[in-house]
Structure 1
Amino acid sequence: MSGVPTGSPGDLKSKDILSYVALGDSFTEGMSDHYPDSDSVPNGRYRGWADRVAEHLADHVPEVRYANLAIRGRLIAQIRDEQVPRAVEMKPDLITVCAGGNDIIRPGSDPDQVVEIFESMIADLRATGARVLIFTGFDTNWQPVMRHLRGKIATYNMHMRAVADKYGCDVVDVWSMKIFSDAHAWNWDRLHLSSEGHRRLALRVCEVLDIPVDGDWNEPWPPPAPRDWRAARQEDLHWAREFLVPWIHRRLTGRSSGDGVHAKRPTLERCDPPQSRDHH
């Protein structure tokens, strides 16, 4: 598309005021990362890697204005229709986009068709002049129930990389981050990152954006606690009953976990760094 910028804007740290908008689904909404001062989810709001990235940015920029439009369960066409126009109106300096995962894991979905929508989104977002960062899909080899999806995810990843090259986007290659092949990175639902998984992903995003941070996203995990096959089997059965079966039921009935959920930060609001940086 002519007139679309092909290079990333300059150093984010050089700005006096930085605006950042995050788009996507549950991955970007922050499930299941609770805020450290609460055992519950205040007003249904999670923290997540995007909030953490905004906080890291606030360590280096005098004023960071941050919006997060992501809503759990959203399909890529919904993100295009509901979130992209609002992001374009805001004209931010930085936009992060993770979309298509909920489509790709559905039976019968076609990565070629999904990426057509993805490219239309990126074209509109880059036309604003914003720096745009995208994410590849996770490698599901560690998850026996979803291992069969690796081929579709890999195909979609290659398509997204081609789009990123065409429009000059930054890429966080989540597929290659082997730390996400460990149970420590995941909430017990095995569908969403743990708080530590979100923290490490935020460190990696900052590395790609050249934002100095303390901590190593690739630090080795502690060794797993020993458990016998009976305990592992019980955990698998509990997971299937509590998470896999309800997920399948929602797919069959056309419902979504995001029905009735609203964006947690629908407008650009000031984001301040936390008083003390937590490490867990």
Structure 2
Amino acid sequence: MEINARYNSLVALGDSFTEGMSDRLPDGTYRGWADLLAARLATRTPGFRYANLAVRGKLIGQIVEEQVDAAAAMQADVVTLVGGLNDTLRPKCDMGRVRGLLTEAVEKLAPSCGQLVLMRSPGRNGPVMERFRPRMEELFDHIDQLAARHGALVVDLYGAPALGDQRMWDVDRLHLTDEGHRRVAEAVWQSLGLPAEDDWRTELPPAVRPAWAARRVADARFAREYLGPWVMRRLTGRSSGDGLPPKRPELLPYAASPNGSGPDGAGNVTSVS
């Protein structure tokens, strides 16, 4: 990949990871790694355009049905696709179907864009991760095979211990913090052949283990505010993204301000604190 590569447009597909949860802005909206990446690319290219079709909770079948054809029609310089992980977290998951749908998505997207970017997604270290690790690794192996066949890039976030650190994850234990999203943006930036700002793989200093009582309080909050609602949605067949539109459904100009990284209503980037 050329270190002086120039990109004029970016389209991001996926679920909550690409939508930007839990990198929350002061107005309550989400930013996330894709917005951060777009803001940096926009500083290099006047007229840079960006679309983000991702919606939280989407399964790979929904991504294929609702996002892939629209993204292919945009014919962007860069398309990022991250999907299938929500499927692997379901109690019952047909991995053959997941692999087939992911293949369908890649076969449509790769010929329609300048560079397709896939990911081996990060996972928070802990017992939940261990339970679903075999499915995740099966998914990632398939992603590697697809990338090799179709000339896609693979950003290996799964292999970075820093992104498995529990401190990189929000209190819901499902979504990255703002620092986690910043590192993902840097990882994709570097995979596109652009000059590194820092080493996104750098691990955090050793953690001080919270007291037993503090851990129990955190566990109780997690169960009450996040785990319980998540289980209820699974039982009732609902999704957190039901009825929500993508935040940037059209490939529109995305201009960057000198010190900002969050899009305003006009598709520009405004400063955030």
- 2:98 is the counterpart of 1:114: yes
SS at match of 1:127: helix
* Aligned partners of 2:32 and 2:181 also within 8 Å: yes
Distance between the aligned counterparts of 1:148 and 1:66, measured in 2?
Answer: 36
The partner residue of 1:189 within 158, 164, 172 is 172
* Aligned partners of 2:79 and 2:113 also within 8 Å: no
1:151-162 mapped onto 2 (5 Å cutoff): 151-162=134-145
Distance between the aligned counterparts of 1:70 and 1:13, measured in 2?
Answer: 28
Q: Which moved more, 1:162-171 or 1:110-119?
A: 110-119
Letter in 1 for 2:147: A
TM-score by length of 1: 0.88
Question: Mind listing any 5+ residue stretches in structure 1 that lack a counterpart?
Answer: 1-9
Letter in 2 for 1:187: D
Distance between the aligned counterparts of 1:14 and 1:181, measured in 2?
Answer: 30
* Aligned partners of 2:80 and 2:117 also within 8 Å: yes
The partner residue of 2:8 within 18, 33, 36 is 18
Letter in 2 for 1:31: M
Q: Give the deviation of 1:146 after TM superposition.
A: 3.6
The partner residue of 1:210 within 193, 198, 211 is 193
After superposition, what is the alpha-carbon deviation per residue over 1:78-132, rounded to whole angstroms, capped at 9, x for unaligned? 1101101111111111100001111111112032220110010000011214310
- 2:61 is the counterpart of 1:82: no
Distance between the aligned counterparts of 1:13 and 1:59, measured in 2?
Answer: 14
1:26-41 mapped onto 2 (5 Å cutoff): 26-35=16-25, 38=26, 40-41=27-28
- 2:220 is the counterpart of 1:237: yes
SS at match of 1:96: strand
* Aligned partners of 1:24 and 1:99 also within 8 Å: yes
SS at match of 2:44: coil
After superposition, what is the alpha-carbon deviation per residue over 1:222-241, rounded to whole angstroms, capped at 9, x for unaligned? 44344211211221121112
After superposition, what is the alpha-carbon deviation per residue over 1:223-279, rounded to whole angstroms, capped at 9, x for unaligned? 434421121122112111211111011011000000121110111121223422689
* Aligned partners of 2:5 and 2:194 also within 8 Å: no
Letter in 2 for 1:65: R
The partner residue of 1:125 within 103, 109, 112 is 109
* Aligned partners of 1:88 and 1:128 also within 8 Å: yes
- CA 1:191/1:14 → structure 2, altered by over 3 Å: closer, same or farther? closer
Question: Mind listing any 5+ residue stretches in structure 2 that lack a counterpart?
Answer: 262-271
* Aligned partners of 2:5 and 2:193 also within 8 Å: no
SS at match of 1:175: coil
Count matched residues: 263
* Aligned partners of 1:32 and 1:192 also within 8 Å: yes
SS at match of 1:59: helix
Query: What's 1:102 paired with?
Result: 86
SS at match of 1:156: helix
Query: What's 1:62 paired with?
Result: 46
Distance between the aligned counterparts of 2:209 and 2:92, measured in 1?
Answer: 38
Distance between the aligned counterparts of 1:220 and 1:88, measured in 2?
Answer: 37
* Aligned partners of 1:80 and 1:117 also within 8 Å: yes
* Aligned partners of 2:120 and 2:158 also within 8 Å: yes
Distance between the aligned counterparts of 1:208 and 1:14, measured in 2?
Answer: 11
Distance between the aligned counterparts of 2:246 and 2:55, measured in 1?
Answer: 6
Query: What's 1:144 paired with?
Result: 127
Distance between the aligned counterparts of 2:234 and 2:148, measured in 1?
Answer: 33
Percent same amino acid at aligned positions? 40
Distance between the aligned counterparts of 2:13 and 2:174, measured in 1?
Answer: 19
Distance between the aligned counterparts of 1:262 and 1:149, measured in 2?
Answer: 29
- CA 1:261/1:96 → structure 2, altered by over 3 Å: closer, same or farther? same
Distance between the aligned counterparts of 2:187 and 2:122, measured in 1?
Answer: 14
Letter in 2 for 1:165: A
* Aligned partners of 2:78 and 2:113 also within 8 Å: no
The partner residue of 1:273 within 251, 256, 262 is 256
Query: What's 1:262 paired with?
Result: 245
Q: Give the deviation of 1:158 after TM superposition.
A: 0.5
Query: What's 2:265 paired with?
Result: none
SS at match of 1:258: coil
**RMSD of aligned residue pairs (Cα, Å):** 2.0
